[in-house]
């Protein structure tokens, strides 16, 4: 009953979150970077204990008309690296597409 997995994939084309829990089933969230424009990237701890341990969630916000909810990397062990990687990808992707 407690079998569970969750992983994130970051490519130069998309962000993917795949999750499975036996009771809740499959969950998949995909953001195609060529279709959506990244607005802001924020790192926030989900609670006081995680803040003390310096464990943070990474929120990637987009324009409200394209996607209302942020894409969230939940409690990764390397939040700063994920933030830098997504920022670099969206900057490079924006340059390849021309002016936004």
The answer to pTM > 0.85 is no
Angle at 17 between CA 98 and CA 58, to 5 degrees: 75
Q: Which of 28, 73, 24, 16 is nearest to 46 (CA)?
A: 73
Q: Provide the residue range defining the domain that includes 79.
A: 4-97
Q: What is the CATH number of the domain that holds 33?
A: 2.30.29
pLDDT tens digit sequence for 14-70: 999 999 988 878 989 999 988 888 889 999 999 999 989 989 999 999 888 888 999
Considering its fold, how many domains does the chain have in total?
Answer: 1
Q: Compute the average pLDDT of residues 71-82.
A: 92
Choose among 76, 32, 34, 36: nearest CA to 54.
76
Handedness of CA 23, 68, 51, 74 (dihedral sign): positive
- The pLDDT confidence band at residue 100, using thresholds 50, 70 and 90, is very low
Q: Is the pLDDT of residue 89 over 70?
A: yes
Backbone angles phi, psi at 43, to 5 degrees: -105, 130
Give residue 2's pLDDT band: very low, low, confident or very high (50, 70, 90): low
């Amino acid at each position: 009953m407690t079998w569970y997995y969750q992983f994130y994939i970051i490519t130069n084309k998309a962000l993917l979150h795949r999750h499975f829990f036996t009771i809740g089933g499959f969950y998949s969230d995909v953001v195609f970077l060529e279709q959506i424009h990244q607005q802001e990237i924020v790192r926030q701890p989900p609670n006081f204990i995680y803040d003390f341990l310096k464990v943070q969630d990474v929120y990637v916000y987009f324009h409200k008309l394209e996607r209302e909810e942020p894409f969230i990397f939940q409690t990764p062990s390397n939040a700063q690296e994920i933030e830098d990687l997504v920022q670099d990808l969206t900057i490079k992707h924006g340059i390849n597409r021309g002016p936004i």
